[in-house]
Amino acid sequence: MNNKKVVLVVGAGDATGGAIAKRFAREGYVACVTRRSADKIQPLVEAIQAGGAQAHGFACDARKEEEVIALVEQIETEIGPIEAFVFNIGANVPCSILEETARKYFKIWEMACFSGFLNGREVAKRMAKRQRGTILFTGATAGLRGAAGFAAFAGAKHGIRALAQSMARELGPMNIHVAHVVVDGAIDTDFIRDSFPEKYATKEQDGILNPEHIAENYWYLHSQPRDAWTFELDLRPWNERW
């Protein structure tokens, strides 16, 4: 068995999740990255490998308990111990509460909250046995306050923040660092470029978040000495109103 340290990034998209995986890989971690589609994860795996690091991609529906259990078991058995886990699933879908459907509300909660519980629980079981590890949850402004038109997303993000708080208090004494990162602002993604061109235009003035800079803060959290752990870290551009 390869006993190299592993970082597991669930929700390793083309922006933040992928940048986090690359950042850990540069430090010698084996990057295990997941998305629901295997085809979508392959370019990231190839990019990490092209840089001389190790990476493995997995197709996994983070909402399915049996798939999550199998994923963690496979990584721990065939690749190495998961030393750092990053949960990075968003599901930011705006809708008026007057038009929101039960199906979509539940799906958003499943993706942005429930799946965090499933993955966090399974990873924590392994880390608890070793008495070490880092668990990082990507949050949003919606986890601190609910905005009009974002009831479902805010509910899910409030839930993931509460999960992170409870896990931090329970697992901290086991030498497991749990932290919640509030990403407050637009991120440099194709979605922002195509959907909000005026906002994207502020990129030249550092008006939107650079995924690589976000990733640097995740590595910083993982590297913190345990006598000075951060639970919650908020990241926003210098000109973001808050």
Per-residue pLDDT, averaged over 46-54, amounts to: 96
DSSP secondary structure code for residue 131 in this structure:
T
- Residue 127 is assigned to a structural domain of this protein: yes
In this predicted structure, what is the pLDDT of residue 1? 47
Q: How far apart are CA 242 and CA 230, in angstroms?
A: 21
- Residue 106 is assigned to a structural domain of this protein: yes
- Residue 192's domain comprises 5-235
In this predicted structure, what is the pLDDT of residue 105? 97
Residue 23: CATH number of its domain: 3.40.50.720
DSSP 139-160: EEGGGT-PPTTBHHHHHHHHHH
182-204 b/e (C-beta count within 10 Å ≥ 16 → b): bbbbbbbbeebeeeeeeebeebe
DSSP secondary structure code for residue 36 in this structure:
S
* Of the candidates 25, 21, 35, 16, the residue with the CA atom closest to the CA atom of residue 183: 16
- Residue 172 is assigned to a structural domain of this protein: yes
Checking if the pLDDT of 139 tops 90, the result is: yes
Q: In sequence order, what E strands does 53-112 have?
A: 55-59, 82-87
CA distance to 76, 127, 148, per residue, from 124 (Å): 12, 5, 35
Spatial contact of 157 and 93, defined as CB atoms under 8 Å apart: no
- Residue 240 is assigned to a structural domain of this protein: no
- Residue 241 is assigned to a structural domain of this protein: no
Provide the domain count of the chain: 1
- Residue 72 is assigned to a structural domain of this protein: yes
- Residue 166 is assigned to a structural domain of this protein: yes
User: Which of 27-36, 113-122, 155-164, 194-203 is predicted with the least confidence, judged by mean pLDDT?
Assistant: 194-203
Single pTM value for the model: 0.95
